[in-house]
């Protein structure tokens, strides 16, 4: 498991055996419930707790009314954007990015479902929030071309210098893009 | 000195006394030459090695021909932007940002010199590359208002998610701005 090596694992095992047998058993129960019951929302492909039912975000009429769809790579990106309280539309989770060498193509990311959703939900703007890596950018371009066929607006989240940062602490490529994508004042 | 506490200072002192007396003396010479001779370029206010003479960047006819001026807070920001090889115009170094509580106003940043330079050099675009902090943003707005009076284009470097970053590792405010300043694809 990430962040737990052999030493930590041993320490946790003895801790549970020595002092927390009951808590350990209820933890096992909770993990097993989660693993058995957490399903994917049939519409946005985010995690949800009931199978074959839309998740809370997809159900929300307020969210649907905004007609904006944000495409992200992972469920944790949805959590990050929701925490920033800056987006009021619905999501589509790719669960990865295009990576032909690893056998991940448009089918593995279920881009046909995305295509259907855009048409069905009468989306007016698709915001591509895949990460700013080579794979993320390629995935964004691919989806942009797909969406543009329907004459729908496609945007990409801004690349640039993060808040609070000095220019010297930002890498050169980000700085170059930040100059390149400068905005009018 | 930044990064050198009492323990490091003592260690350096004994190191120089014990083994490197001559190197120490030549270092002293170099520092004293630098401190005596490094002056400010009368045009861009960046550091330069000859007093009352334009620096290499201000002298360059290629740089002047681009008619773009980049306003930064510190000389190290010039180094960072030059290292990114993404800008081909001239600079103006503020040596700080507006901070009324610390007694730093437009005069301390020599904004009148900036105003004169913009007119004299027939600048066509002023790019504000102050840092993305409250003070940096206020400074940028102040200069933007000043420059707009001359009907000259003013832009601000982009705020957003840096390259290579996952959305989850970016702070919420940056993520919000990154959605806010999304660009068309």
What number is the average pLDDT over the span B121-126?
Answer: 90
pLDDT at position B170, please?
84
Q: What is the C-alpha to C-alpha distance for residues B22 and A125, in angstroms, rounded to an integer? A: 68
Residue B72 pLDDT greater than 80, yes or no: yes
Q: What confidence tier does A171 reach under pLDDT thresholds 50, 70, 90?
A: confident
Of B165, B171, B184, the CB nearest to A155: B184
Q: What confidence tier does A64 reach under pLDDT thresholds 50, 70, 90?
A: confident
Of B80, B84, A29, A140, give the one whose Cα is nearest residue B93: B80
Q: pLDDT digit string (tens) for A30-56?
A: 999 888 888 999 999 999 988 888 899
Of A111-120, B16-25, B133-142, B160-169, the one with minimum mean pLDDT is: B160-169
Average pLDDT, chain B: 90
CATH architecture of A60-156: 3-Layer(aba) Sandwich (3.40)
Q: What confidence tier does B156 reach under pLDDT thresholds 50, 70, 90?
A: very high
Q: What is the C-alpha to C-alpha distance for residues B87 and B64, in angstroms, rounded to an integer? A: 12
What number is the average pLDDT over the span B64-79?
Answer: 92
Q: What confidence tier does A91 reach under pLDDT thresholds 50, 70, 90?
A: very high
Interface test with A, best of B138, B167, B169 (most A CBs within 10 A): B167
Q: In the β-sheet with B125-128, what is the strand arrangement from edge to edge?
A: A183-184, B153-156, B125-128, B68-72, B90-93
Q: What confidence tier does A177 reach under pLDDT thresholds 50, 70, 90?
A: confident
Q: What confidence tier does A178 reach under pLDDT thresholds 50, 70, 90?
A: confident
CB atoms within 10 A of CB A17: 10
Supply the DSSP string of chain A, one letter for each residue.
Answer: -TT--HHHHHHHHHHHHHH-HHHHHHHHHHHHHHHHH-EE-TTT--EESSTTS--HHHH-HHHHHT-EEEEESSHHHHHHHHHHT---SEEEE-SS--BGGGTB-TTTTTHHHHHHHHHHTT-SEEEE---SSHHHHHHHHHHHHHHHTTT-EEEEPPBSBPTT--GGGS-HHHHHHHHHT-EE-
In this structure, are residues A161 and B158 in contact, taking their beta carbons and an 8 Å threshold?
yes
Task: Read off φ and ψ for residue B56, nearest 5 degrees.
Answer: -60, -40
In this structure, are residues B97 and B136 in contact, taking their beta carbons and an 8 Å threshold?
yes
Residue B165 pLDDT greater than 80, yes or no: no
The ipTM value here is: 0.70
Interface test with A, best of B70, B178, B183 (most A CBs within 10 A): B178
Q: What confidence tier does B111 reach under pLDDT thresholds 50, 70, 90?
A: very high
pLDDT at position A70, please?
94
CATH architecture of B61-156: 3-Layer(aba) Sandwich (3.40)
pLDDT at position B128, please?
94
Q: What is the C-alpha to C-alpha distance for residues A97 and A109, in angstroms, rounded to an integer? A: 7
What number is the average pLDDT over the span A160-166?
Answer: 82
pLDDT at position B37, please?
87
Q: In the β-sheet with B183-184, what is the strand arrangement from edge to edge?
A: A90-93, A68-72, A125-128, A153-156, B183-184
pLDDT at position A181, please?
85
Q: pLDDT digit string (tens) for A105-130?
A: 999 999 999 999 998 888 999 999 99
Q: What confidence tier does B144 reach under pLDDT thresholds 50, 70, 90?
A: very high
Of A81, A172, A182, the CB nearest to B167: A81
A177 contacts B163? CB cut-off 8 A: yes
In this structure, are residues A48 and A78 in contact, taking their beta carbons and an 8 Å threshold?
no
The label of the residue with tokens 């041993």 reads A10
Dihedral, CA of residue A11, residue A15, residue A18 and residue A20, to nearest 10: -160
What number is the average pLDDT over the span B14-22?
Answer: 89
Residue B181 pLDDT greater than 90, yes or no: no
Q: What is the C-alpha to C-alpha distance for residues B122 and B117, in angstroms, rounded to an integer? A: 8
pLDDT at position A113, please?
92
The Cβ-side half-sphere exposure at B77, using a 13 Å CA radius, reads: 27
Q: ∠ CA B153-B42-B118 to the nearest 5 degrees?
A: 15
Q: What is the reported pTM?
A: 0.76
B129 contacts A77? CB cut-off 8 A: no
> What is the percentage of chain B residues whose pLDDT exceeds 70?
99
A72/A167: higher pLDDT:
A72
B175 contacts A181? CB cut-off 8 A: no
Interface test with A, best of B93, B162, B177 (most A CBs within 10 A): B162
Alpha carbon distances (Å) from B125 to A19, B30, B31: 69, 39, 38
Q: What confidence tier does A97 reach under pLDDT thresholds 50, 70, 90?
A: very high
Supply the DSSP string of chain B, one letter for each residue.
Answer: -TT--HHHHHHHHHHHHHH-HHHHHHHHHHHHHHHHH-EE-TTT--EESSTTS--HHHH-HHHHHT-EEEEESSHHHHHHHHHHT---SEEEE-SS--BGGGTB-TTTTTHHHHHHHHHHTT-SEEEE---SSHHHHHHHHHHHHHHHTTT-EEEEPPBSBPTT--GGGS-HHHHHHHHHT-EE-
pLDDT at position B167, please?
82
Residue A166 pLDDT greater than 90, yes or no: no
What number is the average pLDDT over the span A81-106?
Answer: 91
Alpha carbon distances (Å) from B11 to B5, B8, B21: 10, 5, 14
Pairing of strands B90-93, B68-72: parallel
The sign of the CA dihedral B51, B52, B55, B59 is: negative
Residue B31 corresponds to which tokens in the numbers above? 């520092």
Domain ranges across chain A: 6-37, 60-156
A155 contacts B171? CB cut-off 8 A: no
């Amino acid at each position: 498991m990430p962040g737990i090596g052999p030493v930590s694992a041993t320490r946790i095992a003895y801790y549970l055996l020595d002092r927390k047998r009951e808590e350990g058993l209820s933890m096992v129960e909770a993990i097993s419930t989660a693993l058995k019951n957490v399903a994917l929302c049939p519409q946005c492909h985010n995690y949800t707790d009931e199978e074959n039912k839309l998740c809370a975000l997809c159900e929300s009429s307020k969210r649907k009314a905004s007609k904006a769809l944000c495409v992200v790579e992972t469920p944790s990106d949805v959590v990050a954007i929701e925490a920033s309280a800056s987006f009021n539309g619905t999501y589509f989770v790719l669960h990865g990015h295009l990576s032909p060498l690893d056998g991940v193509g448009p089918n593995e990311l279920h881009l046909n479902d995305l295509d259907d959703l855009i048409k069905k939900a009468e989306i007016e703007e698709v915001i591509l929030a895949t990460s700013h890596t080579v794979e993320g950018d390629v995935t964004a371009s691919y989806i942009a071309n797909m969406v543009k066929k329907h004459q729908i607006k496609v945007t990409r989240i801004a690349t640039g210098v993060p808040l609070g940062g000095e220019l010297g602490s930002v890498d050169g490529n980000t700085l170059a893009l930040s100059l390149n994508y400068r905005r009018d004042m």
